[in-house]
Structure 1
Amino acid sequence: MSDFETGDTGKTDEADESLDDPTQRRIVRERYARIAAEAGTGKSECSSPGSCCADEGAEETETEGAAETAAQLGYSRGDVESVQGEANLGLGCGNPQALASLTEGETVVDLGSGGGFDCFLAAQQVGETGQVIGVDMTPKMVEKARENARENETVNVDFRLGEIEHLPVADETVDVIISNCVVNLSPDKPQVFQESFRVLRPGGRLAISDVVLTADVPDGLRADPDSVATCVAGATTIGRLEEMLTDAGFEHVDISPKDDSEQFIREWDDEVDVSEFLVSASITGRKPEATGE
Protein backbone atom coordinates (compact mmCIF):
# COMPACT_ATOMS: atom_id res chain seq x y z
CA MET A 1 0.00 0.00 0.00
CA SER A 2 1.35 3.45 -0.91
CA ASP A 3 2.14 6.26 1.52
CA PHE A 4 -0.69 8.24 -0.10
CA GLU A 5 -3.20 5.54 0.79
CA THR A 6 -2.01 5.17 4.38
CA GLY A 7 -1.40 8.84 4.97
CA ASP A 8 2.11 8.02 6.26
CA THR A 9 4.51 10.84 5.38
CA GLY A 10 7.35 9.43 7.42
CA LYS A 11 7.12 12.06 10.17
CA THR A 12 4.59 13.06 12.80
CA ASP A 13 2.27 15.74 11.50
CA GLU A 14 2.41 17.71 14.75
CA ALA A 15 5.87 19.21 14.29
CA ASP A 16 7.72 20.96 17.09
CA GLU A 17 7.69 24.17 15.07
CA SER A 18 3.89 24.47 15.17
CA LEU A 19 2.24 27.53 16.68
CA ASP A 20 0.93 27.14 20.23
CA ASP A 21 -2.82 26.60 20.63
CA PRO A 22 -3.81 30.11 21.83
CA THR A 23 -1.83 31.75 19.03
CA GLN A 24 -3.37 29.50 16.41
CA ARG A 25 -6.90 30.22 17.61
CA ARG A 26 -6.19 33.95 17.69
CA ILE A 27 -4.85 34.20 14.15
CA VAL A 28 -7.70 32.10 12.76
CA ARG A 29 -10.31 34.17 14.62
CA GLU A 30 -8.74 37.43 13.46
CA ARG A 31 -8.60 36.35 9.83
CA TYR A 32 -12.19 35.21 9.64
CA ALA A 33 -13.39 38.26 11.54
CA ARG A 34 -11.74 40.31 8.81
CA ILE A 35 -13.40 38.23 6.12
CA ALA A 36 -16.82 38.75 7.74
CA ALA A 37 -16.26 42.49 8.07
CA GLU A 38 -15.14 42.85 4.45
CA ALA A 39 -17.95 40.79 2.92
CA GLY A 40 -19.90 42.94 0.50
CA THR A 41 -17.31 45.75 0.47
CA GLY A 42 -15.34 44.53 -2.54
CA LYS A 43 -12.25 44.16 -0.36
CA SER A 44 -12.76 40.58 0.76
CA GLU A 45 -9.87 38.13 0.79
CA CYS A 46 -12.35 35.56 -0.52
CA SER A 47 -13.15 37.21 -3.82
CA SER A 48 -11.50 34.74 -6.19
CA PRO A 49 -11.84 31.05 -6.85
CA GLY A 50 -9.51 28.48 -5.44
CA SER A 51 -9.01 28.32 -1.69
CA CYS A 52 -10.16 27.61 1.82
CA CYS A 53 -10.39 31.33 1.50
CA ALA A 54 -9.39 32.61 -1.89
CA ASP A 55 -6.43 34.82 -2.69
CA GLU A 56 -6.50 38.58 -2.33
CA GLY A 57 -6.58 40.95 -5.27
CA ALA A 58 -8.62 39.01 -7.80
CA GLU A 59 -10.24 40.72 -10.75
CA GLU A 60 -13.60 39.02 -10.25
CA THR A 61 -16.27 40.55 -8.09
CA GLU A 62 -16.87 38.84 -4.76
CA THR A 63 -20.11 37.28 -6.00
CA GLU A 64 -18.57 35.97 -9.22
CA GLY A 65 -15.51 34.64 -7.43
CA ALA A 66 -17.50 32.92 -4.70
CA ALA A 67 -19.86 31.36 -7.25
CA GLU A 68 -16.93 30.05 -9.29
CA THR A 69 -15.32 28.62 -6.17
CA ALA A 70 -18.59 26.90 -5.23
CA ALA A 71 -18.73 25.28 -8.69
CA GLN A 72 -15.17 24.01 -8.31
CA LEU A 73 -16.04 22.54 -4.93
CA GLY A 74 -19.02 20.60 -6.26
CA TYR A 75 -22.01 22.86 -5.63
CA SER A 76 -24.58 23.30 -8.37
CA ARG A 77 -25.71 26.62 -9.78
CA GLY A 78 -29.06 25.91 -8.15
CA ASP A 79 -27.35 25.61 -4.77
CA VAL A 80 -25.66 28.98 -5.17
CA GLU A 81 -28.76 30.75 -6.48
CA SER A 82 -30.99 29.34 -3.73
CA VAL A 83 -29.15 31.22 -0.97
CA GLN A 84 -29.49 34.98 -0.70
CA GLY A 85 -27.18 37.59 0.78
CA GLU A 86 -23.51 37.19 1.62
CA ALA A 87 -23.62 33.62 2.94
CA ASN A 88 -21.38 32.21 0.21
CA LEU A 89 -18.00 33.72 1.08
CA GLY A 90 -15.93 31.57 -1.26
CA LEU A 91 -14.71 29.36 1.59
CA GLY A 92 -14.20 25.62 1.66
CA CYS A 93 -12.53 22.68 -0.06
CA GLY A 94 -15.52 20.50 -0.91
CA ASN A 95 -19.27 20.04 -0.59
CA PRO A 96 -20.31 18.29 2.63
CA GLN A 97 -23.93 18.36 1.46
CA ALA A 98 -23.06 15.74 -1.12
CA LEU A 99 -21.78 13.43 1.62
CA ALA A 100 -24.43 13.93 4.27
CA SER A 101 -27.54 12.63 2.45
CA LEU A 102 -29.74 14.76 4.68
CA THR A 103 -33.42 13.94 5.08
CA GLU A 104 -36.44 15.84 6.31
CA GLY A 105 -36.70 16.26 10.06
CA GLU A 106 -33.01 15.74 10.88
CA THR A 107 -30.95 17.93 13.21
CA VAL A 108 -27.63 19.06 11.74
CA VAL A 109 -24.61 20.81 13.24
CA ASP A 110 -22.16 22.66 10.99
CA LEU A 111 -18.67 22.99 12.51
CA GLY A 112 -17.27 26.41 11.62
CA SER A 113 -20.38 27.67 9.89
CA GLY A 114 -18.96 30.96 8.60
CA GLY A 115 -21.51 33.03 6.70
CA GLY A 116 -23.99 30.16 6.83
CA PHE A 117 -23.96 28.92 3.23
CA ASP A 118 -23.89 25.20 4.09
CA CYS A 119 -26.38 25.76 6.90
CA PHE A 120 -28.93 27.31 4.57
CA LEU A 121 -28.53 24.51 2.05
CA ALA A 122 -28.94 21.96 4.85
CA ALA A 123 -32.03 23.78 6.09
CA GLN A 124 -33.66 23.33 2.69
CA GLN A 125 -33.07 19.58 2.90
CA VAL A 126 -34.21 18.97 6.48
CA GLY A 127 -37.29 21.17 6.09
CA GLU A 128 -39.22 23.04 8.74
CA THR A 129 -39.44 19.93 10.91
CA GLY A 130 -35.65 19.74 11.04
CA GLN A 131 -33.08 22.02 12.60
CA VAL A 132 -29.64 23.28 11.61
CA ILE A 133 -27.15 24.65 14.15
CA GLY A 134 -24.14 26.59 12.93
CA VAL A 135 -21.23 26.93 15.36
CA ASP A 136 -18.46 29.47 14.81
CA MET A 137 -15.89 30.96 17.19
CA THR A 138 -15.76 34.36 15.47
CA PRO A 139 -18.34 36.86 16.78
CA LYS A 140 -18.33 38.91 13.59
CA MET A 141 -18.94 35.78 11.52
CA VAL A 142 -21.86 34.72 13.72
CA GLU A 143 -23.29 38.23 13.37
CA LYS A 144 -22.91 38.04 9.58
CA ALA A 145 -24.57 34.61 9.49
CA ARG A 146 -27.52 35.88 11.52
CA GLU A 147 -27.93 38.78 9.10
CA ASN A 148 -27.96 36.30 6.24
CA ALA A 149 -30.56 34.21 8.09
CA ARG A 150 -32.87 37.21 8.24
CA GLU A 151 -32.37 37.90 4.54
CA ASN A 152 -33.08 34.26 3.68
CA GLU A 153 -36.07 34.21 6.06
CA THR A 154 -35.02 30.90 7.55
CA VAL A 155 -36.86 29.66 10.63
CA ASN A 156 -34.94 26.44 11.29
CA VAL A 157 -31.34 27.68 11.50
CA ASP A 158 -29.65 28.76 14.73
CA PHE A 159 -26.16 30.29 14.75
CA ARG A 160 -24.22 29.90 18.00
CA LEU A 161 -20.92 31.39 19.13
CA GLY A 162 -18.54 28.67 20.30
CA GLU A 163 -15.43 26.65 19.61
CA ILE A 164 -15.75 23.38 17.74
CA GLU A 165 -13.68 21.76 20.48
CA HIS A 166 -16.39 22.72 22.98
CA LEU A 167 -19.70 22.63 21.15
CA PRO A 168 -22.63 24.58 22.66
CA VAL A 169 -24.90 21.62 21.95
CA ALA A 170 -26.49 19.07 24.30
CA ASP A 171 -25.51 15.39 24.40
CA GLU A 172 -27.03 13.04 21.81
CA THR A 173 -29.31 15.61 20.16
CA VAL A 174 -27.86 15.68 16.63
CA ASP A 175 -28.30 13.41 13.61
CA VAL A 176 -25.54 14.73 11.36
CA ILE A 177 -22.28 16.67 11.74
CA ILE A 178 -21.09 18.56 8.65
CA SER A 179 -18.10 20.85 8.12
CA ASN A 180 -16.24 22.41 5.22
CA CYS A 181 -12.46 22.79 5.55
CA VAL A 182 -12.54 23.86 9.20
CA VAL A 183 -11.25 20.95 11.30
CA ASN A 184 -7.74 21.49 9.88
CA LEU A 185 -7.78 24.91 11.56
CA SER A 186 -8.24 23.40 15.02
CA PRO A 187 -5.17 22.94 17.24
CA ASP A 188 -6.95 20.06 19.03
CA LYS A 189 -8.50 17.84 16.38
CA PRO A 190 -9.03 14.78 18.64
CA GLN A 191 -11.20 16.97 20.87
CA VAL A 192 -13.24 18.10 17.84
CA PHE A 193 -14.10 14.50 17.02
CA GLN A 194 -14.80 13.64 20.66
CA GLU A 195 -17.24 16.55 20.85
CA SER A 196 -18.85 15.51 17.57
CA PHE A 197 -19.31 12.01 18.95
CA ARG A 198 -20.80 13.40 22.19
CA VAL A 199 -23.53 15.44 20.52
CA LEU A 200 -24.50 12.80 17.95
CA ARG A 201 -27.38 10.47 18.66
CA PRO A 202 -26.64 6.74 18.47
CA GLY A 203 -26.48 5.93 14.77
CA GLY A 204 -25.70 9.55 13.92
CA ARG A 205 -23.16 10.33 11.24
CA LEU A 206 -20.29 12.67 10.49
CA ALA A 207 -19.81 13.92 6.92
CA ILE A 208 -17.17 16.57 6.38
CA SER A 209 -14.94 17.95 3.66
CA ASP A 210 -11.39 18.88 4.65
CA VAL A 211 -7.79 18.77 3.53
CA VAL A 212 -5.35 15.98 4.40
CA LEU A 213 -1.59 15.65 4.16
CA THR A 214 -0.07 13.49 1.44
CA ALA A 215 3.55 14.51 2.10
CA ASP A 216 5.58 16.43 4.66
CA VAL A 217 4.77 20.11 5.12
CA PRO A 218 7.71 22.24 3.95
CA ASP A 219 9.95 23.62 6.68
CA GLY A 220 8.63 26.78 8.30
CA LEU A 221 5.03 26.58 7.13
CA ARG A 222 3.60 25.16 10.36
CA ALA A 223 4.86 28.21 12.24
CA ASP A 224 3.69 30.66 9.57
CA PRO A 225 0.48 32.39 10.72
CA ASP A 226 -0.83 32.98 7.20
CA SER A 227 -0.29 29.34 6.22
CA VAL A 228 -2.11 28.12 9.33
CA ALA A 229 -5.05 30.48 8.89
CA THR A 230 -5.48 29.65 5.19
CA CYS A 231 -5.82 25.87 5.67
CA VAL A 232 -2.33 25.15 4.33
CA ALA A 233 -0.32 24.21 7.42
CA GLY A 234 -2.81 22.66 9.85
CA ALA A 235 -3.75 19.51 7.96
CA THR A 236 -3.20 15.97 9.25
CA THR A 237 -2.38 12.67 7.57
CA ILE A 238 -5.11 10.24 6.60
CA GLY A 239 -3.77 7.64 8.98
CA ARG A 240 -3.74 10.02 11.93
CA LEU A 241 -7.28 11.22 11.16
CA GLU A 242 -8.51 7.63 11.03
CA GLU A 243 -6.90 7.04 14.42
CA MET A 244 -8.54 10.15 15.91
CA LEU A 245 -11.98 9.18 14.65
CA THR A 246 -11.68 5.59 15.83
CA ASP A 247 -10.39 6.68 19.23
CA ALA A 248 -13.39 9.01 19.55
CA GLY A 249 -15.70 6.01 19.01
CA PHE A 250 -16.67 6.32 15.35
CA GLU A 251 -17.08 3.24 13.18
CA HIS A 252 -17.26 2.77 9.39
CA VAL A 253 -14.67 5.53 9.04
CA ASP A 254 -13.83 6.41 5.44
CA ILE A 255 -11.42 9.07 4.20
CA SER A 256 -11.39 9.43 0.42
CA PRO A 257 -8.98 11.91 -1.23
CA LYS A 258 -10.36 13.86 -4.18
CA ASP A 259 -7.85 13.81 -7.01
CA ASP A 260 -9.60 16.63 -8.86
CA SER A 261 -8.96 19.04 -5.97
CA GLU A 262 -5.39 19.62 -7.15
CA GLN A 263 -6.59 22.23 -9.63
CA PHE A 264 -7.89 24.66 -7.02
CA ILE A 265 -5.57 23.73 -4.13
CA ARG A 266 -2.45 24.69 -6.08
CA GLU A 267 -3.87 28.26 -6.22
CA TRP A 268 -3.93 28.63 -2.43
CA ASP A 269 -0.39 30.00 -2.17
CA ASP A 270 1.51 32.21 -4.59
CA GLU A 271 4.94 30.95 -3.50
CA VAL A 272 4.43 27.25 -2.71
CA ASP A 273 2.57 24.59 -4.72
CA VAL A 274 0.57 23.25 -1.79
CA SER A 275 -0.98 20.54 -3.97
CA GLU A 276 2.36 18.73 -3.59
CA PHE A 277 1.48 17.93 0.03
CA LEU A 278 -2.27 18.65 0.40
CA VAL A 279 -5.42 17.18 -1.09
CA SER A 280 -9.09 17.68 -0.35
CA ALA A 281 -10.87 14.65 1.06
CA SER A 282 -14.30 13.39 2.01
CA ILE A 283 -14.34 12.20 5.64
CA THR A 284 -17.22 10.15 6.99
CA GLY A 285 -17.97 8.06 10.06
CA ARG A 286 -20.88 6.86 12.15
CA LYS A 287 -21.64 6.67 15.85
CA PRO A 288 -22.62 3.10 16.78
CA GLU A 289 -26.28 2.34 17.29
CA ALA A 290 -27.41 2.01 20.89
CA THR A 291 -27.29 -1.53 22.22
CA GLY A 292 -29.99 -2.95 24.47
CA GLU A 293 -29.20 -3.52 28.13
Structure 2
Amino acid sequence: MSENQNLKELVKQRYNELALNAEALKGCCCGVNPKGSSKRVFTIMSEDYKNLEGYEPDADLGVGCGLPTQYAKIKEGDTVVDLGSGAGNDCFIARAEVGENGSVIGIDFSPRMIARARANARKRGYANIRFIEGDIESMPLENNVADVVVSNCVLNLLPKKDIIFKEIYRVLKQGGHFCISDVVLEGVFPKEFTDNAAMYAGCIASAIQKEDYLSEIKKAGFKNICIERTKTVVIPDEVLHEHLDENTIRKYKSGSVGIYSITVTGRKL
Protein backbone atom coordinates (compact mmCIF):
# COMPACT_ATOMS: atom_id res chain seq x y z
CA MET A 1 0.00 0.00 0.00
CA SER A 2 1.35 3.47 -0.94
CA GLU A 3 2.06 6.18 1.61
CA ASN A 4 -0.89 8.22 0.32
CA GLN A 5 -3.18 5.23 0.70
CA ASN A 6 -1.89 4.59 4.21
CA LEU A 7 -2.68 8.18 5.19
CA LYS A 8 -6.19 7.93 3.76
CA GLU A 9 -6.81 4.68 5.61
CA LEU A 10 -5.64 6.31 8.84
CA VAL A 11 -8.11 9.15 8.39
CA LYS A 12 -10.94 6.78 7.42
CA GLN A 13 -10.36 4.68 10.53
CA ARG A 14 -10.30 7.79 12.71
CA TYR A 15 -13.61 9.04 11.34
CA ASN A 16 -15.27 5.64 11.50
CA GLU A 17 -14.32 5.65 15.19
CA LEU A 18 -15.63 9.18 15.58
CA ALA A 19 -19.00 8.16 14.13
CA LEU A 20 -19.22 5.29 16.61
CA ASN A 21 -18.18 7.45 19.54
CA ALA A 22 -19.93 10.67 18.60
CA GLU A 23 -21.54 11.30 21.95
CA ALA A 24 -18.33 10.71 23.91
CA LEU A 25 -16.25 12.66 21.41
CA LYS A 26 -18.46 15.65 20.65
CA GLY A 27 -15.62 18.06 19.92
CA CYS A 28 -12.86 18.91 17.51
CA CYS A 29 -11.25 16.40 15.20
CA CYS A 30 -8.13 17.12 17.21
CA GLY A 31 -9.68 15.34 20.17
CA VAL A 32 -8.45 12.12 21.64
CA ASN A 33 -8.41 8.69 20.08
CA PRO A 34 -11.67 7.06 21.21
CA LYS A 35 -9.78 3.88 22.04
CA GLY A 36 -7.32 5.74 24.24
CA SER A 37 -7.51 6.02 27.99
CA SER A 38 -8.18 9.76 28.11
CA LYS A 39 -11.68 11.17 27.60
CA ARG A 40 -10.66 14.84 27.40
CA VAL A 41 -12.16 16.72 24.48
CA PHE A 42 -10.97 19.98 22.97
CA THR A 43 -13.05 22.02 20.53
CA ILE A 44 -10.18 24.15 19.29
CA MET A 45 -11.53 24.78 15.78
CA SER A 46 -15.24 24.04 15.79
CA GLU A 47 -17.83 26.76 15.14
CA ASP A 48 -21.26 27.36 16.64
CA TYR A 49 -23.99 26.32 14.20
CA LYS A 50 -26.89 26.53 16.65
CA ASN A 51 -28.41 29.73 15.28
CA LEU A 52 -28.31 28.68 11.62
CA GLU A 53 -31.51 27.59 9.92
CA GLY A 54 -31.53 23.84 9.27
CA TYR A 55 -29.25 23.05 12.20
CA GLU A 56 -29.63 19.48 13.48
CA PRO A 57 -27.83 18.88 16.81
CA ASP A 58 -27.33 15.14 16.30
CA ALA A 59 -25.59 15.80 12.96
CA ASP A 60 -23.11 18.22 14.51
CA LEU A 61 -19.99 16.34 15.62
CA GLY A 62 -18.03 19.55 16.09
CA VAL A 63 -15.27 18.54 13.65
CA GLY A 64 -15.41 21.55 11.34
CA CYS A 65 -13.12 24.57 11.31
CA GLY A 66 -15.47 27.14 9.81
CA LEU A 67 -18.95 27.92 8.53
CA PRO A 68 -18.63 27.48 4.76
CA THR A 69 -22.37 27.66 4.07
CA GLN A 70 -22.40 31.16 5.57
CA TYR A 71 -20.18 32.44 2.74
CA ALA A 72 -21.31 30.09 -0.05
CA LYS A 73 -24.10 32.29 -1.45
CA ILE A 74 -26.36 29.26 -1.86
CA LYS A 75 -29.62 30.11 -3.65
CA GLU A 76 -33.02 28.45 -3.66
CA GLY A 77 -33.10 25.66 -6.26
CA ASP A 78 -29.33 25.11 -6.26
CA THR A 79 -27.64 21.70 -6.30
CA VAL A 80 -25.05 21.67 -3.52
CA VAL A 81 -22.33 19.05 -3.04
CA ASP A 82 -20.67 18.72 0.38
CA LEU A 83 -17.27 17.00 0.43
CA GLY A 84 -16.55 15.01 3.56
CA SER A 85 -20.14 15.37 4.72
CA GLY A 86 -19.74 13.43 7.97
CA ALA A 87 -23.00 13.08 9.88
CA GLY A 88 -24.65 15.64 7.61
CA ASN A 89 -24.30 18.91 9.50
CA ASP A 90 -23.42 21.22 6.59
CA CYS A 91 -25.77 19.32 4.29
CA PHE A 92 -28.75 20.06 6.51
CA ILE A 93 -27.81 23.73 6.68
CA ALA A 94 -27.46 23.81 2.88
CA ARG A 95 -30.82 22.08 2.48
CA ALA A 96 -32.55 24.88 4.36
CA GLU A 97 -31.06 27.31 1.82
CA VAL A 98 -31.79 25.41 -1.42
CA GLY A 99 -35.40 24.80 -0.39
CA GLU A 100 -37.68 22.06 -1.63
CA ASN A 101 -36.75 22.71 -5.28
CA GLY A 102 -33.02 22.28 -4.73
CA SER A 103 -30.95 19.27 -3.79
CA VAL A 104 -27.97 18.41 -1.61
CA ILE A 105 -25.45 15.60 -2.09
CA GLY A 106 -23.06 14.62 0.68
CA ILE A 107 -19.95 12.55 -0.12
CA ASP A 108 -17.86 10.81 2.55
CA PHE A 109 -15.47 7.85 2.47
CA SER A 110 -16.32 6.68 5.99
CA PRO A 111 -19.06 4.00 5.81
CA ARG A 112 -20.14 4.66 9.38
CA MET A 113 -20.41 8.40 8.79
CA ILE A 114 -22.57 7.75 5.72
CA ALA A 115 -24.81 5.42 7.73
CA ARG A 116 -25.17 8.02 10.46
CA ALA A 117 -25.98 10.80 7.97
CA ARG A 118 -28.56 8.68 6.15
CA ALA A 119 -30.22 7.82 9.44
CA ASN A 120 -30.40 11.52 10.32
CA ALA A 121 -32.00 12.32 6.95
CA ARG A 122 -34.50 9.44 7.18
CA LYS A 123 -35.55 10.49 10.66
CA ARG A 124 -36.54 13.89 9.29
CA GLY A 125 -38.11 12.64 6.05
CA TYR A 126 -35.86 14.70 3.79
CA ALA A 127 -36.37 13.64 0.18
CA ASN A 128 -34.01 16.07 -1.56
CA ILE A 129 -30.81 15.14 0.22
CA ARG A 130 -28.68 12.05 -0.34
CA PHE A 131 -25.41 10.73 1.02
CA ILE A 132 -22.95 8.79 -1.14
CA GLU A 133 -20.01 6.74 0.06
CA GLY A 134 -17.06 7.72 -2.10
CA ASP A 135 -13.58 9.16 -2.42
CA ILE A 136 -13.50 12.90 -3.08
CA GLU A 137 -10.28 12.40 -5.07
CA SER A 138 -12.50 10.56 -7.56
CA MET A 139 -16.05 11.70 -6.96
CA PRO A 140 -18.89 9.35 -7.95
CA LEU A 141 -20.60 12.23 -9.80
CA GLU A 142 -20.98 13.25 -13.43
CA ASN A 143 -19.44 16.41 -14.87
CA ASN A 144 -21.17 19.78 -14.41
CA VAL A 145 -23.76 18.75 -11.82
CA ALA A 146 -23.24 21.20 -8.95
CA ASP A 147 -24.03 24.88 -8.58
CA VAL A 148 -22.06 25.04 -5.34
CA VAL A 149 -19.46 22.79 -3.69
CA VAL A 150 -18.80 23.18 0.03
CA SER A 151 -16.43 21.44 2.43
CA ASN A 152 -15.50 21.91 6.06
CA CYS A 153 -12.07 20.92 7.43
CA VAL A 154 -11.68 17.93 5.11
CA LEU A 155 -9.34 18.63 2.19
CA ASN A 156 -6.39 19.23 4.52
CA LEU A 157 -6.69 15.61 5.68
CA LEU A 158 -6.01 14.15 2.25
CA PRO A 159 -2.63 14.09 0.49
CA LYS A 160 -3.63 14.81 -3.13
CA LYS A 161 -5.12 18.28 -2.85
CA ASP A 162 -4.30 19.06 -6.49
CA ILE A 163 -6.52 16.19 -7.63
CA ILE A 164 -9.34 17.22 -5.30
CA PHE A 165 -9.50 20.77 -6.67
CA LYS A 166 -9.53 19.41 -10.23
CA GLU A 167 -12.42 17.15 -9.22
CA ILE A 168 -14.28 20.10 -7.72
CA TYR A 169 -13.78 21.97 -11.00
CA ARG A 170 -15.06 18.97 -12.96
CA VAL A 171 -18.33 18.53 -11.05
CA LEU A 172 -19.19 22.24 -10.94
CA LYS A 173 -21.41 23.72 -13.63
CA GLN A 174 -20.03 26.56 -15.72
CA GLY A 175 -20.39 29.63 -13.53
CA GLY A 176 -20.61 27.51 -10.39
CA HIS A 177 -18.46 28.13 -7.36
CA PHE A 178 -17.03 26.53 -4.23
CA CYS A 179 -16.75 27.66 -0.61
CA ILE A 180 -14.34 25.69 1.56
CA SER A 181 -13.24 26.08 5.17
CA ASP A 182 -9.89 24.40 5.75
CA VAL A 183 -6.68 24.47 7.79
CA VAL A 184 -3.50 25.94 6.33
CA LEU A 185 -0.05 26.76 7.66
CA GLU A 186 2.56 29.46 7.52
CA GLY A 187 5.95 28.17 8.60
CA VAL A 188 7.42 24.70 9.06
CA PHE A 189 6.56 22.09 11.71
CA PRO A 190 9.14 19.82 13.33
CA LYS A 191 9.26 16.50 11.46
CA GLU A 192 8.32 14.64 14.66
CA PHE A 193 5.10 16.67 14.71
CA THR A 194 4.08 15.98 11.13
CA ASP A 195 4.92 12.28 11.49
CA ASN A 196 2.54 11.96 14.45
CA ALA A 197 -0.56 9.94 13.49
CA ALA A 198 -2.88 11.68 15.95
CA MET A 199 -1.86 15.12 14.73
CA TYR A 200 -2.31 14.00 11.12
CA ALA A 201 -5.81 12.62 11.65
CA GLY A 202 -6.51 15.67 13.80
CA CYS A 203 -6.42 18.12 10.87
CA ILE A 204 -3.16 19.83 11.85
CA ALA A 205 -0.05 18.02 10.64
CA SER A 206 -1.71 17.17 7.32
CA ALA A 207 -2.28 20.81 6.38
CA ILE A 208 -0.08 22.52 3.80
CA GLN A 209 1.29 26.04 3.41
CA LYS A 210 -1.35 28.67 2.67
CA GLU A 211 0.35 29.85 -0.52
CA ASP A 212 0.65 26.26 -1.78
CA TYR A 213 -3.03 25.69 -1.01
CA LEU A 214 -4.10 28.76 -2.97
CA SER A 215 -1.73 27.79 -5.79
CA GLU A 216 -3.46 24.41 -6.20
CA ILE A 217 -6.80 26.22 -6.53
CA LYS A 218 -5.40 28.46 -9.26
CA LYS A 219 -3.81 25.55 -11.10
CA ALA A 220 -7.18 23.75 -11.16
CA GLY A 221 -8.55 26.63 -13.25
CA PHE A 222 -10.59 28.62 -10.73
CA LYS A 223 -10.99 32.39 -10.96
CA ASN A 224 -12.12 35.09 -8.53
CA ILE A 225 -10.37 33.29 -5.66
CA CYS A 226 -10.99 35.06 -2.38
CA ILE A 227 -10.21 34.33 1.27
CA GLU A 228 -13.46 35.31 2.95
CA ARG A 229 -12.32 34.74 6.51
CA THR A 230 -9.17 33.83 8.46
CA LYS A 231 -9.08 32.51 12.02
CA THR A 232 -5.95 31.70 14.01
CA VAL A 233 -5.89 28.18 15.49
CA VAL A 234 -4.20 27.64 18.84
CA ILE A 235 -3.47 24.08 19.98
CA PRO A 236 -4.02 23.81 23.75
CA ASP A 237 -1.10 22.52 25.80
CA GLU A 238 -3.28 19.62 26.99
CA VAL A 239 -3.61 18.36 23.40
CA LEU A 240 0.11 18.76 22.72
CA HIS A 241 1.09 16.87 25.86
CA GLU A 242 -1.41 14.11 25.15
CA HIS A 243 0.08 13.25 21.77
CA LEU A 244 3.66 14.58 21.64
CA ASP A 245 6.82 14.19 23.67
CA GLU A 246 8.44 17.14 25.44
CA ASN A 247 11.24 17.51 22.92
CA THR A 248 8.81 17.79 19.99
CA ILE A 249 6.64 20.27 21.88
CA ARG A 250 9.70 22.38 22.63
CA LYS A 251 10.72 22.37 18.95
CA TYR A 252 7.18 23.28 17.89
CA LYS A 253 6.89 26.18 20.34
CA SER A 254 10.31 27.57 19.52
CA GLY A 255 9.43 27.85 15.83
CA SER A 256 7.41 30.51 14.05
CA VAL A 257 4.52 28.40 12.80
CA GLY A 258 1.10 29.87 12.15
CA ILE A 259 -1.96 27.62 11.97
CA TYR A 260 -5.06 29.13 10.40
CA SER A 261 -8.57 28.19 9.46
CA ILE A 262 -9.44 29.93 6.21
CA THR A 263 -12.72 30.08 4.33
CA VAL A 264 -11.97 30.47 0.63
CA THR A 265 -14.18 30.83 -2.44
CA GLY A 266 -13.52 30.43 -6.15
CA ARG A 267 -15.54 30.27 -9.37
CA LYS A 268 -15.53 28.14 -12.53
CA LEU A 269 -15.86 30.61 -15.39
Class of the TM-score when normalised by the shorter of the 2 chains: 0.7 to 0.9
Match of 1:184, SS?
helix
Q: Equivalent residue for 1:7? A: none
Distance apart, 1:74 and its partner CA: 5.0
For the Cα contact (< 8 Å) 2:189–2:257, is it kept in 1? no
Q: Equivalent residue for 2:150? A: 178
Distance apart, 1:245 and its partner CA: 0.9
CA spacing shift, 1:22–1:134, aligned 2, 3 Å: same
Distance apart, 1:52 and its partner CA: 3.4
- C-alpha separation in 2, matches of 1:223 and 1:204: 37
Q: Equivalent residue for 1:291? A: none
**1:206-231: per-residue Cα shift (whole Å, max 9, x none)?**
10100111111222222221111100
Map 1:121-200 → 2, pairs under 5 A: 121-200=93-172
- C-alpha separation in 2, matches of 1:242 and 1:182: 15
Q: Equivalent residue for 1:101? A: 73
- C-alpha separation in 1, matches of 2:233 and 2:44: 13
For the Cα contact (< 8 Å) 2:83–2:106, is it kept in 1? yes
Distance apart, 1:262 and its partner CA: 3.1
| Identity value in percent | 36
- C-alpha separation in 1, matches of 2:94 and 2:240: 33
Match of 1:269, SS?
helix
TM-score (norm 2): 0.85
- C-alpha separation in 2, matches of 1:183 and 1:285: 15
**1:254-279: per-residue Cα shift (whole Å, max 9, x none)?**
235624x435x547833357894311
CA spacing shift, 1:145–1:120, aligned 2, 3 Å: same
For the Cα contact (< 8 Å) 1:32–1:138, is it kept in 2? yes
Name which of 256, 263, 268 aligns with 1:282: 263
Matched, 1:73 2:54: no
- C-alpha separation in 2, matches of 1:282 and 1:160: 24
Match of 2:119, SS?
helix
- C-alpha separation in 2, matches of 1:194 and 1:84: 31
- C-alpha separation in 2, matches of 1:279 and 1:52: 15
Map 1:10-89 → 2, pairs under 5 A: 20-40=3-23, 43-44=24-25, 47-48=26-27, 51-55=28-32, 57-58=39-40, 73-75=47-49, 77-79=50-52, 82-84=54-56, 86-89=58-61
For the Cα contact (< 8 Å) 1:54–1:91, is it kept in 2? no
Match of 1:86, SS?
helix
Distance apart, 1:84 and its partner CA: 3.6
For the Cα contact (< 8 Å) 2:30–2:199, is it kept in 1? no
Q: Equivalent residue for 1:246? A: 218
Moved more, 230-239 or 273-282: 273-282
Distance apart, 1:108 and its partner CA: 0.5
For the Cα contact (< 8 Å) 1:238–1:255, is it kept in 2? no
Match of 1:258, SS?
strand
Match of 2:51, SS?
helix
Match of 1:209, SS?
strand
Q: Equivalent residue for 2:244? A: none
Amino acid in structure 2 at the alignment position of 1:270? L
- C-alpha separation in 2, matches of 1:145 and 1:229: 21
**1:15-64: per-residue Cα shift (whole Å, max 9, x none)?**
xxxx9101101110000000111124xx33xx24xx334456248xxxxx
- C-alpha separation in 1, matches of 2:191 and 2:133: 34
Match of 2:239, SS?
coil
